Amino acid sequence: MAALGAASGALAQDSGDHDGSGSGHGSMDMTGSTEMSATSHVGHAGFPTGSVPPARAGIDPTAILRDFDTGTVSTLPNGQVLREWEITAIDVDIEIAPGVIFPGWTYNGRIPGPTLWCREGDALRIRFTNAGSHPHTMHFHGVHTAEMDGTPGVGAGSIAPGATFSYEFDAVPFGTHLYHCHQSPLAPHIAKGLYGGFIIEPKSGREPADDEMVMVMNGYNTDGGDDNEFYSVNGLPFHFMDHPVQVKRNALVRIHLINVLEYDPINSFHVHGNFFHYYPTGTMLTPSEYTDTVSQVQGQRGILDIRFPYTGKYMFHAHKTEFAELGWMGFFEVSE
């Protein structure tokens, strides 16, 4: 939990910076016909009026970065730690790009859903209520019984609107995982926003990170075609261009990178001016690669351990430039 303590400290600090830089976004025009706002995208792709301010969108990718939900913790008679969460599926309209309203399906009102954090071997109980308009499920990546898999037709199967079900299983194996809806038709049930990170920390722990964060790579198919019109990390296209991820020089930054992108086959992550150690799926304690670019297919994920030796602004983006210029790009801002 030391890592998380450090992370929440960084979060508070970031919020301060974030408010400061976000103030320029107060008056935005849906039409894009007003002058350029405070955004400094000169030479970069971006929306004419900058990304949607988190207050207007109702989701804040910067806050989502370090928002690890450890659940309500108690101890079972056998000494096992029990973690419990309340997750509600709810339909929410989210302004994902200036003037573009996406009719989202969400877990707890946000895209991506809450990042559930636990430790290897914990007993988990996720009480899922479907307050949406369609049947949904919660399908966790992990080792568990068929009844708890969140697959329609197996166990509780589809959870009807208004119904509730508790998914119960132990946290194995350790690693960076995800959960998502498994109701058919699958592509829209996932792509409309029903997904989130699921982190199982190894019992033995990892090298303590100074700053730990989650990045969920997603997309928005707004016109019902076979591709996405917008791409993002943590929900809002171009957000991290306007609000760079604040990190400290030489600090060990641990990024849980998860790809949930539908319709496009492969997503990627590339960082400028730096390399990182990559742990595929986070299920091993030794990295597989020292690189500056990784690719992930749908559902693939991993851990990136990175230290920035110099201060300044460093881009990170999908190395598929189409995705980058349609929203999946941002900055790390390294300070002393």
Partner 1 sequence: MTASRDTTTQEHDVKSGAQRMPRWLLGAGPLALIALLIGLFTLLNAPGITGAGDRVPEEAVAVENIRLEPGEIILFVRNEGVDPVTIAQVNVSDYFAQFTQTTAEMAPLQANTITVSYNWVAGDPYEIALITSAGGKISADIDAAALSPEQGASFFGLMILLGVYVGVIPIGLGMLWMPFVRRSSRGWIQGLLAFTVGLLVYLTIDATLEGLELVADNAAFGGSLTVLLGAFIAYISLEGIEGMILRSRRTTPGDRALSPQMLALLIAVGIGLHNLGEGLAIGSAYAVGSLALGASLVIGFAIHNTTEGLAIVTPLAAQRPRIRRLAVLGLIAGAPAILGALIGATVTQPTLAALLFGIGAGAVGQVAVKLLPMLKDDTGRILTPLTAGGIIAGIAIMFATGLLVTI
User: What residues make contact with partner 1 under the rule CB under 8 A?
Assistant: 30-33, 36, 45-48, 97-102, 220, 222-223, 225, 229, 322, 325-326
Closest to partner 1 by CB, 58 or 121: 58
- Which strands form 276-280's sheet, in the order they lie side by side? 230-233, 211-220, 253-259, 301-306, 276-280, 289-291
Closest to partner 1 by CB, 102 or 167: 102
Q: How far is the CB of 111 from partner 1 (least distance, A)?
A: 14
Closest to partner 1 by CB, 93 or 207: 93
Phi, psi dihedrals of residue 153, rounded to the nearest 5° = 90, -10
Q: How far is the CB of 233 from partner 1 (least distance, A)?
A: 16
Q: How far is the CB of 327 from partner 1 (least distance, A)?
A: 8
Closest to partner 1 by CB, 16 or 225: 225
The residue type of 44 is H
Closest to partner 1 by CB, 229 or 292: 229
The residue type of 49 is T
Q: How far is the CB of 44 from partner 1 (least distance, A)?
A: 10
Q: Which residues contact 252 (CB under 8 A, 6 or more apart)?
A: 207, 208, 209, 210, 211, 305, 306, 307
Closest to partner 1 by CB, 48 or 202: 48
Which of 67-85 are b and which e, b meaning 16 or more Cβ less than 10 Å from the residue's Cβ? bbbbbeeeeeeeeebbbeb
Residue carrying the six token digits 């009719």: 103
Q: How far is the CB of 67 from partner 1 (least distance, A)?
A: 26
Helix (H) or strand (E) holding 189: helix 186-191
Q: How far is the CB of 41 from partner 1 (least distance, A)?
A: 9
Closest to partner 1 by CB, 235 or 302: 235
The residue type of 275 is F
| 272/288 Cα distance (integer angstroms) | 20
3-state secondary structure (DSSP) of residue 292: coil
| 10/16 Cα distance (integer angstroms) | 10
Spell out the alpha helix ranges (H) of 60-152.
61-65
- In 3D space, the residue among 126, 106, 130 whose CA is nearest the CA of residue 117 turns out to be 126
Q: How far is the CB of 150 from partner 1 (least distance, A)?
A: 28
